[in-house]
Amino acid sequence: MTTFLQRIIDGFQNGAIYSVVAIPMVLIFKATTLINFAQGELAMIGAFFGFIFATQVFGLNVWLAAIIAMALAAALGMGIERSLLRPFDPTDHLPVVLITLGIFYIINAVGGDIWNYQAQINPPNLLHEMPDLGFWDIGVWMQDQTILFTSDTNPLGLRIQHDSIGLILSLLIMLGALYMILEKTKMGLAFRAVSSNTESSRLVGIRVGRILSFGWALACAFGALGAILVAPRITLQPNMMAPILIYALAAAAFGGLDNVYGAALGGFVVGLINSVVLGYISDVRWLRARLDSIGIEDAEFVEGLGSLTAAPLIPPVILLLTVLWFRPTGLFGTKTIARV
Amino acid sequence: MQFPLVFDRDSAEHRMYRIVGFAALAVVTILLWRYLPAFQVKRLSRTLAMAVAILGLNLVVGYSGLLALCQSAFIALGAFVSASLIVDHGWDYWMTIPMALLATFFMGVVLGIPALKIKGLYLAMTTVAFAAAFPSITKLELHFPPSWLPGDFWRGDLSIAHRTGGANGRALAEPNGLGEDLTVPSWFPWFDVDERYAFGCVLILAVIAFWAVGNLVKSRPGRAVISIRDNEIGAAVSGVNLRYFKVINFGLSAALGGLAGVMWAMFSGFVAEQDFTFILMVDLLVGLVVGGVGTVSGALIGAMVVVFGRWLCQTYFNYSLASIALWGILLGFAMFVVQRLDHARLKMVSAGGAVLSFLFLVLPTLGLNVFKPLDGLGFHDMGGGPGWDWSTFLATAVFVVFLTIFGLAVAGATQNSEAITRAGAFVGIMGGLGGLGTWLWAQISVPGWLWLGLAGIALAWLAYGAGKDQLVAAGAAATTALIAISWFQAQVGLNGWITALLVIALVPAAGYYAMNAPATIRPIIAGAGTLLSSILIIHWASYRSDIPDGLYQLNGDGPLSQAIFGIVLIVVVFFAPQGIVGAWRKSWSNIVQIRPVPPALPAGAESLSVSSATTESTEA
C-alpha cells in the first residue's frame, strides 16, 4: 500500500512538470490554432533568462529575475508570433508545423552552443527564496510545513520531495491566475472570443492581431515561470525540455487541445500512468508473482517487460494513440464539424 | 532560335529532351562516382538513402496531405531488420530487402489505420511522439519474435535489444562463416568492395525507387491520392475509396523509408539508434521543403542540400556570431538601397561596388594576397583525398564567383537596363562592403560589442526608413534602462525589491519617452541605446573564459549546423514555399515549355476551340 501511495505521489510530482509545459501549448493552440513544437524550448530559454539574471551575470533577486525572464520570454513569444506565424494561414498545417519545428531547432542549438548542453549548477530556486514579509516569513513557514513530509520518517513512510509540494501549489496558483485573466478581464474575454470565432470577433471590433500576440505572450511568460520552477528538479540544461515535450503533447491531447484545465489534468494523468505502470512493470518480483498467478511462467518475458523503464516514452505514445482513437479531439476538446 | 522552346508532351522532341536530360544526369553521376574522393562518395550514398526516405515522406505529406512525421522510425526499422537478418541469420542483402519492405509496409499500415481517425495537427503530434519514442523501443529486452509464436522459422530466440545492438548499435562488418566482409553486398564479385561499390548498389535501389514512385504518382492510384489531398470530400464523392488509398499510401511511404534503411545499412555498415532520432526527422523535413513538396525530383535535390549542407556547415563554417549579424545587416541594407534609389543613383552605387569588390575581392584572389580576405572567409585547410586538391578547386571557384560579382557591378554601372543596374548594385554592395568588412575584420580584431552596436544602429536606420522606428527606439530604450538598472544593482548591491520597483517604474518610462520623442531623435535613441546595451551585455556576459575579447565564436559542428538548418527551414517556408524544384521550373519555363496535348478525340468529333486558345496563350 505504501508503495502504491508512493507511486501516486511520484506521479503527481512528475505530472506537475508535464502540466507546466502542456498548459502554454494549449494557450497557444487556443490563440492561433497551431501546435507549438517549440514550446518546451521557449520555456527552456525562459529558465535560462532567469538563470542569467539571478546567478550567472547580474546576481539579481531570484523573484525579480523570474519577472524579468517572464517579460523577456513574453516579448520573444510576441515577436515570434508577429513576425513568423502571423503571415501564414493557420488552417494550412504544414507551413506552421515546419516553422515551429525550425524555431525548436534554432533555440535548442543556440542554447546548446552557449551553454554546451551541460547541466548548470545552482539554478535559481524560487521556492527557496520566498520573501520575508516581516510579520510572516513565508520561506521559514514553508520549511516548517514541508519538513513533516520530506523526512523519511514521516507517519506514512512516504518520500515526498521538498520542492514538489511547492511546485504543485504554484501550478494551482498559476492556474488560478490564468482563470482570473481569461474569465474576469476584458482582455481574457476578447481572447476567448477570438479563439472561439476569429471572424466574428473581428466584426465586433476586437483587434484580433493584438489578442493573438497577447495569447503568445501569456503562454510564453507562463511557460518561462513554469520552467524556472521545475528547473531545480530536472536540471537546467538546453535539452531539459526535449523529453518533456512528448509527455506534454500527450497531456495536451488527452485534455483536448483547446482546454487549459484539461491540459493541467492531462499532465497529472500522464504522470500517474507513467509512474504507476512503469513502476509496477519494472518491479520484477511483483510482476513475476502476478504472471505466475495467471499461469505465465516466462522468466525472460518478465525481464523483458522490466526493460520498459529504458523506454519511458512508450506509455505516453500509447495513451496518445488510445485517447485520440476514441475521442479524436481529446476528452474535453471542442468537436469540429466539417461542412461540405 | 526562339525561346522559350515549346514541345508537345510525348512528341519526338519531348522524348529527345528527356533523354538528353537523363543522359546528362547519368554522366554527372558517373563522373562524381569515379572522381570524388571516397569519403565524398560515401556522402553521396547517404544522399541517395535520404532521397528515398524523403520520397516516401513526400508520398504522405506532399501527395496525400497527411502530416505524418515519423519517417525516421521507418528508416530505423528497415535498417535494423536488414542488419539483424544479415548478422544474426546470415541472410544475403538482397533477401533482406523484401523482408524490410514487408515489415515497414506492415507497420505503416498499422499506423495508417489510426491516421484515418486522427486528423491534422493531432496526427502531427502523435507521429512526432512516435518518432521520438522509437529509438528507445530498440533498447527493449523483449524477445522478438516472441517465443510463444508457433513455428521456428527465423526464430533465433533473440531480444530486440540484441537484434538492434541497443545503445551500442550494430556493426555489419562482422565476418560471416566464410570469413567474408559483409559491409556491402557481394552482388558483383568482379568489382573491388569499397565505398564506390557500395554507392553502385545503393544507386541501383534508388533508381528503381525513383522510377517506381515517378510512375506511381502519375498513375490512376496516384491521381486518386492527390485528389484526396486537394479535396477530401470531393474525392470521396467522385468514388475514391478514402480509407483504402490513405492506408495503402501510408504503407508505401513507410516501405520507402524501410528501403532507405536497407540502403543506410549497406553504405554505412553500421546502424545505431542514435542515428534515427528526431533530428533525422527534421533533416528529412528540411530536405522535403527545400527540394519542393509534392515533387519527385525535389526529394533528390533536398537530400543533396541536407547531406552536403550539413557537411559544409560542419567543416567550413567558422564565422563568429557578429560576422553573421554583419552579413544579415548587409543583406538588409542592400535590399533597402536597391528598392529605394532611382536608376541614376543605383548606377553610382554599382560603380562604387565595382571599385570596392575589385580592391577587396578580385585583387587578393589574383595572387596579390595583400589583404587576405580568404582567411576571414573561413576557407582554410580544405582537406580532401589523394589526387584531389580541394583548395585549388575552391580557390578557383571563389575567384570565378568574385570575378562575376565584379563583372555584374561593372555592368550595372555601365549598362542602361534597369534590371541589370539593380542586380549590379545589389551584388556590388554585398560583395564590396562584405569584402571591406572582412578585410577590416582581419586587420583589427573588432570587439563584439561594436558589431552588435553597429547592428543596432543599422537596424534603427532601416526601421526609420520603414516607418517602424517608434517600436525599435522604445525597445532599445527599455532594454538599456533594464540592463543599466541591473548593472547598478550588481555594483551597489541594491535590495532586490527596490530594484524591482525601479525596473517597474523606469523601464516603461524609458520606452514611453523614446516612443514619443521627436522623429529626428528616435533613430539616435535607438542606435545609441543598442550600442550602450550591447557594450553592457558583452562586458558583463563575458563570463565564458573561452570568448576572446568579447568576440563570440560559433562552433562549426553540432549546434551551429542545427541552428542553420532551422533557419533554412524557416526561410524556405517563408520566402520560397515551392522549394528549389518549384523555383527552377518557374525560371526554366523561360527556356523550355512542355505543352500538354489533349487526348485524341474519337473520329468524327469536332475539335474544341479551347485547345487552340491554350496554344496561343502559351506562345504569347
Contact by Cβ (8 Å): B42, B274 = no
Residue B496 has pLDDT above 80, yes or no: no
Residue B518 has pLDDT above 50, yes or no: yes
Which of A146-150, A286-290, B119-123, B434-438 has the lowest average pLDDT? A146-150
Give one DSSP letter per residue of A289-337, joined into a string: HHHHHTT---HHHHHHHHGGGG-TTHHHHHHHHHHHHH-TTTTTPPPP-
Residue B384 has pLDDT above 80, yes or no: no
Residues 110-169 of A with CB under 8 A from B: 110, 112-113, 117, 131
Contact by Cβ (8 Å): B434, B330 = yes
Per-residue pLDDT, averaged over B305-312, amounts to: 80
Give the pLDDT of residue B247. 93
Which of A97, A308, A316 is the closest to B67 by Cβ? A97
Comparing A217 with B384, the larger pLDDT belongs to: A217
Contact by Cβ (8 Å): B60, B266 = no
Comparing B616 with B123, the larger pLDDT belongs to: B123
Structure confidence at residue B169 as a pLDDT band (50, 70, 90): confident
Closest-CA residue to A168 (of A54, A11, A62): A11
| Contact (CB<8Å) B136/A310 | yes
Give the pLDDT of residue B467. 61
Pairing of strands B592-595, B170-171: unpaired
Give the pLDDT of residue B149. 66
Comparing A158 with B107, the larger pLDDT belongs to: B107
Residues 6+ apart with CB under 8 A from A331: A254, A255, A256, A262, A266, A323
Among A293-297, B10-14, B528-532, name the most confident range.
Answer: B10-14
Give the pLDDT of residue A277. 85
| Contact (CB<8Å) A105/B566 | yes
**Tens digit of each residue's pLDDT (9 = 90 or more) over B320-330:** 444 555 566 66
Chain A CB contacts of B233 under 8 Å are 338, 340
**End-to-end C-alpha distance for chain B, whole angstroms:** 16
* R_g of chain B computed on alpha carbons: 29
Contact by Cβ (8 Å): B271, B206 = no
Contact by Cβ (8 Å): B187, B200 = no
Contact by Cβ (8 Å): B260, B543 = no
Residue B600 has pLDDT above 50, yes or no: yes
Per-residue pLDDT, averaged over B366-393, amounts to: 43
| Contact (CB<8Å) B118/A60 | no
Comparing B549 with B107, the larger pLDDT belongs to: B107
Residues 6+ apart with CB under 8 A from A41: A103, A104, A107, A108, A111, A241
Burial letters for B419-452: b for 16+ Cβ neighbours within 10 Å, e otherwise?
Answer: ebbbbbbbbbbbbbbbbbbbbebeeeebbbbbbb
Closest-CA residue to B135 (of B72, B83, B189, B187): B72
Comparing B494 with A55, the larger pLDDT belongs to: A55
Residue A265 has pLDDT above 90, yes or no: yes
Give the pLDDT of residue B454. 64
Question: Using H for helix, E for strand and C for coil, what is the string for B477-526?
Answer: HHHHHHHHHHHHHHHHCCCHHHHHHHHHHHHHHHHHHHHHCCCCCHHHHH
Per-residue pLDDT, averaged over B12-32, amounts to: 89
Instruction: Quote the percentage of chain B above a pLDDT of 90.
Output: 19
Give the pLDDT of residue B206. 95
Residue B441 has pLDDT above 70, yes or no: no
d(CA A253, CA A247): 10
Per-residue pLDDT, averaged over B87-107, amounts to: 88
Per-residue pLDDT, averaged over B445-470, amounts to: 61
- The phi, psi pair for B207, rounded to 5°, reads -65, -45
Q: What is the mean pLDDT of chain B?
A: 76
A67 touches chain B (CB under 8 A): yes
Per-residue pLDDT, averaged over B97-122, amounts to: 90
Residue B411 has pLDDT above 80, yes or no: yes
Closest-CA residue to A38 (of A65, A73, A69, A66): A73
The sign of the torsion formed by the CA atoms of B520, B526, B527, B533 equals positive
Residue B610 has pLDDT above 60, yes or no: no
Residue B539 has pLDDT above 90, yes or no: no
| Contact (CB<8Å) B126/A324 | yes
Find where cell 518557374 sits: B586
Residues 176-235 of A with CB under 8 A from B: none
**Tens digit of each residue's pLDDT (9 = 90 or more) over B138-157:** 888 777 776 666 665 555 56
| Contact (CB<8Å) A58/B555 | no
Helix locations, B517-556, DSSP H: 522-541
Per-residue pLDDT, averaged over A102-127, amounts to: 81
d(CA B249, CA B240): 13
| Contact (CB<8Å) B486/A60 | yes
Residue A272 has pLDDT above 90, yes or no: yes
Per-residue pLDDT, averaged over A194-216, amounts to: 90
pTM above 0.80, yes or no: no
Structure confidence at residue B282 as a pLDDT band (50, 70, 90): confident
Contact by Cβ (8 Å): B182, B86 = yes
d(CA B176, CA B188): 18
Contact by Cβ (8 Å): B138, A310 = no
Closest-CA residue to A282 (of A13, A12, A10): A10
Chain B: residue whose CA lies nearest to A132: B497
DSSP state of B600: P
| Contact (CB<8Å) B122/A308 | no
Contact by Cβ (8 Å): A194, A40 = no
**Tens digit of each residue's pLDDT (9 = 90 or more) over B179-194:** 445 455 666 666 666 7
Residues 6+ apart with CB under 8 A from A246: A313, A316, A317, B128, B129, B132, B133
Give one DSSP letter per residue of B158-185, joined into a string: -BHHHHH-GGG-EES-S--TT----SS-
Instruction: Quote the percentage of chain A above a pLDDT of 70.
Output: 89
Beta-bridged to residue A137, according to DSSP, are A132
**Tens digit of each residue's pLDDT (9 = 90 or more) over B202-247:** 999 999 999 999 999 989 999 999 999 888 889 999 999 999 999 9
Structure confidence at residue B555 as a pLDDT band (50, 70, 90): very low
Chain B CB contacts of A131 under 8 Å are 497
Per-residue pLDDT, averaged over B534-558, amounts to: 47
Beta-bridged to residue B553, according to DSSP, are B320
Residue A283 has pLDDT above 80, yes or no: no
- What was the ipTM of the complex prediction? 0.89
Give the pLDDT of residue B598. 76
Contact by Cβ (8 Å): B563, A105 = yes
Give the pLDDT of residue B410. 87
Give the pLDDT of residue B157. 67
Comparing B462 with B113, the larger pLDDT belongs to: B113
Comparing A41 with B541, the larger pLDDT belongs to: A41
Contact by Cβ (8 Å): B481, B495 = no
Chain A CB contacts of B495 under 8 Å are 61
Q: How far from chain centre, in Å, is Cα A111? A: 19
- The phi, psi pair for A135, rounded to 5°, reads -80, -15
d(CA A235, CA A244): 12
Chain B CB contacts of A316 under 8 Å are 129, 133
Residue A84 has pLDDT above 80, yes or no: yes
Residue B378: how many other CB atoms lie within 10 Å? 15
d(CA A301, CA A288): 10
Which helix H or strand E contains B7, and what residues bound it? strand B5-8
Give one DSSP letter per residue of B213-279, joined into a string: HHHHTTSHHHHHHHHHHH-HHHHHHTT--HHHHHHHHHHHHHHHHHHHHHHHHHHHSEE-GGGGSHH
Return the residue in B141, B274, B471 with the most chain A beta carbons within 10 A, the one to mutate for interface testing.
Answer: B141
Residue A241 has pLDDT above 70, yes or no: yes
Q: How far from chain centre, in Å, is Cα A148? A: 27
Closest-CA residue to B431 (of B502, B524, B354, B529): B354
Q: How far from chain centre, in Å, is Cα B326? A: 22
Amino acid code (one letter) for A242 = A
Give the pLDDT of residue B406. 86
Residues 285-314 of A with CB under 8 A from B: 298, 300-301, 303-308, 310-314
Residue A232 has pLDDT above 80, yes or no: yes
Residues 6+ apart with CB under 8 A from B414: none
Contact by Cβ (8 Å): B373, B364 = yes
Judge residue B49's burial from the number of C-beta atoms within 10 Å of its C-beta, 0-12 exposed, 13-18 middle, 19 or more buried: buried
Contact by Cβ (8 Å): A175, A169 = no
Residue B516 has pLDDT above 80, yes or no: yes
Q: What is the mean pLDDT of chain A?
A: 84
Chain B: residue whose CA lies nearest to A328: B118
Give the pLDDT of residue B369. 42
Structure confidence at residue B363 as a pLDDT band (50, 70, 90): confident
The Cα of B567 is separated from the nearest Cα of chain A by a number of Å equal to 7
Residue B526 has pLDDT above 80, yes or no: no
Contact by Cβ (8 Å): B399, B365 = yes
Amino acid code (one letter) for B274 = Q
Q: How far from chain centre, in Å, is Cα B352? A: 34
Return the residue in A18, A35, A317, A321 with the most chain B beta carbons within 10 A, the one to mutate for interface testing.
Answer: A317
Per-residue pLDDT, averaged over A245-269, amounts to: 90
Chain B: residue whose CA lies nearest to A305: B142
Per-residue pLDDT, averaged over A103-130, amounts to: 80
